[in-house]
A and B are shown apart, each in its own frame.
Chain A
Amino acid sequence: GQSLEQPSEVTAVEGAIVQINCTYQTSGFYGLSWYQQHDGGAPTFLSYNALDGLEETGRFSSFLSRSDSYGYLLLQELQMKDSASYFCAVRSFSGGYNKLIFGAGTRLAVHP
C-alpha cells in the first residue's frame, strides 16, 4: 500500500529552526511536495523535490533521500506567521494514474 508518516505536532520559538520529517511508502515514486495550510485557509505549495538533495527557497528548505524514502522541510528564522499545518505529499504513479497522496499534516505552533 501507500502511506506517509509525519509528526502530528511540533512546537518552536520565534527565531528558531525547526525540521518536519516525512517518511513514505509508495510505488512509482516521482517526487515529494510540501504544502502549508493556515487555519481556515487553503493549502499553498511550498516546494517539490524530484531528486535527492536539498532545495532552498528563502527561509524554507526541503530535502529528499529517495533511497531512504525520507524527506524533511526545514524552516529557519521562525516567525509567528509560520504557525500553520504542513503537509508532505508524494507524487506517484499507481493504480493506473498519476496521483498526489497527502500525509495527515504536522501542526506547527510558533511561540514568542
Chain B
Amino acid sequence: NAGVTQTPKFQVLKTGQSMTLQCAQDMNHNSMYWYRQDPGMGLRLIYYSASEGTTDKGEVPNGYNVSRLNKREFSLRLESAAPSQTSVYFCASSEAENYEQYFGPGTRLTVT
C-alpha cells in the first residue's frame, strides 16, 4: 500500500500561471481533503470531499478549485497563481469524515 501519494513534490510558478496538484489514495477511503500549511502555522482546510461525487469549501477556498475524479483521486487546481499561494499543500484521506486522517508527503509550491 502506497497510502496517499501527491505529485509533484516541488513546483515553482510565475504569478498568473495555472497548475493542478494531483492526489491519490489506495486505502478505499471515502473522504479526501486538501490543506495548506504556511511556515509556523497549522493546517488550513482548502476544500474537502466527504464522498465520491461531492466537494465542499473549507476555510480558505478562494483561488482554488477541486475535482473528485473518482474514489481514489482528488485534484486541486490553481487557476491563476498568486504569491500568497506560496505554501506547502497536503492532501489527506480518511475512512470516516474527519476521523483519523492520513496525509500525503506534500507539495512545496513557490509562486514568484
Contacts and interface: CB of A to CB of B under 8 A. Distances in A.
A43 B102 CA distance: 8
Contacts of A30: 98
Given A42-B106, A43-B103, A45-B102, A99 B42 contact: no
Interface in B16-59: 33, 40-45, 48, 50, 56, 58-59
A71 interface: no
A104 B41 contact: yes
Contacts of B99: 48, 91
A102 B100 contact: no
B100 A48 contact: yes
Interface residues of B, number: 23
Contacts of A87: 42-43
Contacts of A44: 103
Interface in A62-112: 87, 89, 91, 97-105
Contacts of A45: 100-102
A102 B46 CA distance: 13
